[in-house]
Chains A and B, each alone.
Chain A
Amino acid sequence: MKRLLRCLFPILSGLALGIVAGLVYTWLIEPVQYTNTAPDRLRADAKREYLLLISKAYAASDDWTVALERLAGLKDPDIAATTLELAKQAIEQGKSVSTIRHLAIVASRLGASSPVVAQFLPGQPPPPPAIPASILPTVPPTALPSPTATSTPAPTAFPTLSPQPTPTPRLVFRLSSRQSICDTDRAEPLLQVLVRSSHGEDVSGAEVAVTWEAGSIHLMTGFKPELGRGYTDMVMEPGVSYTVFLTAGSEQVGGIQATPCRSSAGQRLLSTRLVFKESEPSSP
């Protein structure tokens, strides 16, 4: 027995040392290099970027099956909440309306929504315009009496705010053409809107508000890139009068109706094509 122990001791000692040396080498000196990882192993910010791209790709392709497969690749147990959270962050960070909208749409399709994010969904009233921080008061305009002696005393002096004139809405875009089309190829009348920059280039992601007596819808240019990045459209109902404007600022173009017309293909309803062009920047 003693002899056996005498033999085992050096073997076990060597074994233990060897294992430690092996682990040190494989964990610290030459660890396994992961070069073929999946999206779920990405760093948090890269995951967010990946999720944002999924929402944009879905907006471009309208293929929900593919979007779901991509979302599944992130292996997030609550992907709906994560997407909604990302949409909220995008709002807080002042990201573009289209970016917020793409995330809001995916979150909504996943069953997650919040009142703030829902404003950016298509068909909702336009979100309130962002108030520039420079005109926001940094202190309350009036001091409230302290309810208890132990509460934090309110500041005694406040800077007064000069009354701000009501800003006149700036016309960022102007209607450059309005065309009525008796379309021979299409039975449904379309309200087509094209938004162009001051240089005549298509503007994608421009928000177009369409209102009528019974409702409103917000369209975004660029969803049909094959027809132009600044293009968007919707089918009009006969007998309804529509008004169109750009939420970025434009005149309101009203009285748009799908009235009957006669084309070579027979009786049709009139489509309307509006082209908005960005106003030339004027010197103050």
Chain B
Amino acid sequence: MKRILLALIGLAAGAGIGLLLGWNVWPVEYYDTEIPALHSTYKAEYAVMVGAAYQMDGDWEQAADRLAALEETDIGAWLRDLIHESIAAGQDPVSIRYLISMADQLGVRSDIMEPFAEEDDG
């Protein structure tokens, strides 16, 4: 009985150590991740670059494909939120206009975007 108890104590302690090792010390490392796994900062960066590329080549179909690679459930809403955050954070207006040019294609506009969009339109 005592042996079983000791074995159970050992098992519990071992499981705890195993979880600690597997989740914190040697976690599974992913080297081949996809765009959707990027940190939100890099996702925002990616979207700005897609917007810049769209500005350069005017190829909306390709820009839309690249945005789709983010696998956001509602890309329009995601882009709108990103634009709002970028404006609030005082980001580079040129980058914001890149994003707005894509939001326009998606039919997304808001009052906050207007001053930047007007510059773009003018």
Take A25-B19, A36-B40 as given contacts and tell me if A15 and B58 are in contact as well, using a CB distance cutoff of 8 Å.
no
- In the complex the two chains form, what is the Cα distance from A25 to B23 in whole Å? 10
Q: Point out the residues of chain A lying under 8 angstroms from B48, CB to CB.
A: 57
Residues of A within 8 A of B17 (CB): 15, 18-19, 22
Known: A18-B11, A18-B13, A73-B42. A42 touches B33 (CB 8 A): yes
- Give the shortest distance, in Å, between B71 (CB) and chain A (any CB): 12
> Are the CB atoms of A18 and B52 closer together than 8 Å?
no
Can you list, as one digit per residue, whether each of A80-106 has a CB less than 8 Å from chain B (1) or not (0)? 000000000000000010100010000
A126: CB under 8 A from chain B?
no
A31 x B39 contact (CB < 8 A)? no
A263 to chain B, nearest CB (A): 25
A12 touches B10 (CB 8 A): yes
User: How would you classify the secondary structure of chain B's contact residues: helix, strand, loop or mixed?
Assistant: helix
Q: B115: CB under 8 A from chain A?
A: no
* B11 near A14: Cβ-Cβ < 8 Å: yes
A23 CB-CB contact with B under 8 Å: yes
CB-CB contacts of A215-229 with B at 8 A, as 1s and 0s? 000000011010001
In the complex where A12-B10, A57-B52, A222-B57 touch, is A38 in contact with B38 (Cβ < 8 A)? yes
Chain A interface: which size bin?
35 or more
Given known A20-B18, A26-B18, contact A42–B10 (CB-CB < 8 A): no
Contacts A22-B19, A70-B45 given; indicate if A32 touches B10 (C-beta within 8 A): no
The answer to whether the Cβ of B112 comes within 8 Å of any Cβ in the partner chain is no
* A204:B58 contact, CB within 8 angstroms: yes
Q: Measured between alpha carbons, how far is A23 from B18 in the docked complex, in Å? A: 5
Residues of the A chain whose Cβ atoms lie less than 8 Å from the Cβ of B10: 10-18
Is A37 an interface position by the 8 A CB rule? yes
B38:A26 contact, CB within 8 angstroms? no
**Contact partner, B22, options A15, A27, A229, Cβ 8 Å:** A27
User: Which of A46-54, A142-150, A155-163 makes up part of the contact surface?
Assistant: A46-54
Cβ contact within 8 Å between B9 and A96: no
Tell yes or no: A1 within 8 A of B by CB.
no
B40 to chain A, nearest CB (A): 7
Contact A11 B33, CB 8 Å, known A22-B17, A98-B56: no
The yes or no answer to A189 lying at the interface (CB within 8 A) is no
**Any chain B CB within 8 A of the CB of A59?**
yes
Q: Please report the C-alpha to C-alpha distance between residue A245 and residue B52 in the assembled complex, in whole angstroms.
A: 27
B37 A54 Cβ-Cβ under 8 A: no
Q: Tell me the residues in window 53-73 of chain B with beta carbons closer than 8 Å to chain A beta carbons.
A: 53, 55-58, 66, 69
Q: Does B35 interact with chain A (Cβ within 8 Å)? A: yes
Determine which of B15, B28, B66, B98 lies in contact with A22 in the assembled complex, contact meaning CB atoms within 8 Å.
B15
- Whether A176 is near chain B, meaning CB under 8 Å from some CB there, is no
Contact A10 B3 (CB under 8 A): yes
Give the residues in chain A near B12, CB-CB below 8 Å.
Answer: 14, 18
Question: Contact between A54 and B49 (Cβ–Cβ < 8 Å)?
Answer: yes
Asked if B77 CB lies within 8 Å of chain A CBs, one says: no
Q: List chain A positions with a Cβ less than 8 A from chain B.
A: 6-7, 10-27, 31-32, 34-39, 41-44, 46, 49-50, 53-54, 56-57, 59-61, 70, 73, 96, 98, 102, 202, 204-205, 222-223, 225, 229
Q: Please give 7 more A-B residue pairs, beta carbons under 8 A apart, in addition to A15-B11, A26-B22, A43-B32.
A: A13-B7, A18-B10, A27-B28, A32-B23, A53-B49, A60-B53, A222-B58
A-B pairs, top 4 by smallest CB distance, nearest first, are A22-B18, A18-B14, A14-B10, A26-B22
